[in-house]
Amino acid sequence: MPPPITVLAVLCVVELVGVATGKHAAEWFAKPLLAPLLAAHLWRLTGTRHAFVLTGLLFAAAGDTALLIPGTPAFGLGLALFLGAQLCWITAFLRAGALDHLRTRRAVCAAYLAAWATAVAALAPALGPALGSAVAVYALALLTMALTARVLGPKALWGGLVFVASDSLIGLGAAGLGFPGRATLCMATYIAALALLVTACIQAPPRDDSPTAGATPHPGPPQHEEPPAAFGRGLSPSVGADGFEPPTSCL
């Protein structure tokens, strides 16, 4: 059986071709499987160390499926499911130390907040009160995810920013401001964003409170007791390292 990442690569091609050519059957076949395969890849390499990220990917898979259904109710459901995904990812990044990371980066936080306010103000007239409010709430969660993702390094930083760009294209479509190739670009950036975020999680070292961090080293072979005259020099039994090294596999 091929590994999840190999199947994912094939399905990415199927999905992008389906979006570009308007083959909805290809989209229905490929799109709902993209996030679960990324979750399987992450779980295979890190186990349950990134439980909130895995849960968020499952929310994203459900949201992807909902967004395949035409109509405003399905769009609202997809938005709610992706809000759940963003909240899961925010939780994961906060647990990784995002607040401490951002304490000295207030200018960056202000820039993200300004971007949110600008986008909401620009799209609100075209979206209407109800949908505009829902999009504003989701956009705030999205930008918070992108901001807190920075704690995992450059790949997560870019993953968050590319995710914002991808969802901005969805917002333009919902506001009736589409352009040729928008859907294909939206899907390509979405896949890239998820891949960057998952890769950053795979390469992140375990937290101090994770099951694989700070493991008690196993003592080496028992040492023979030295005579009392040697007491003062201290006994130094050999201690074996736990041998753990965080996975560094990339997508």
3-state SS, the chain, equals CCCHHHHHHHHHHHHHHHHHHCCHHHHHHHHHHHHHHHHHHHHHHHCCCCHHHHHHHHHHHHHHHHHCCCCHHHHHHHHHHHHHHHHHHHHHHHHCCHHHHHCCCHHHHHHHHHHHHHHHHHHHHHHCHHHHHHHHHHHHHHHHHHHHHHHHCHHHHHHHHHHHHHHHHHHHHHCCCCCCCHHHHHHHHHHHHHHHHHHHHHHCCCCCCCCCCCCCCCECCCCCCCCHHHCCCCCCCCECCCCCCCCCCCC
Which of these ranges, 34-48, 53-67, 223-237, has the smallest mean pLDDT? 223-237
Residue 77 has pLDDT above 70, yes or no: yes
pTM, 2 dp: 0.79
Tell me what the mean pLDDT of segment 50-58 comes to: 97
Q: What pLDDT sits at residue 176?
A: 83
Tens of pLDDT, residues 217-240: 444 444 444 444 433 333 333 344
For the chain, the structural domain boundaries read 4-203
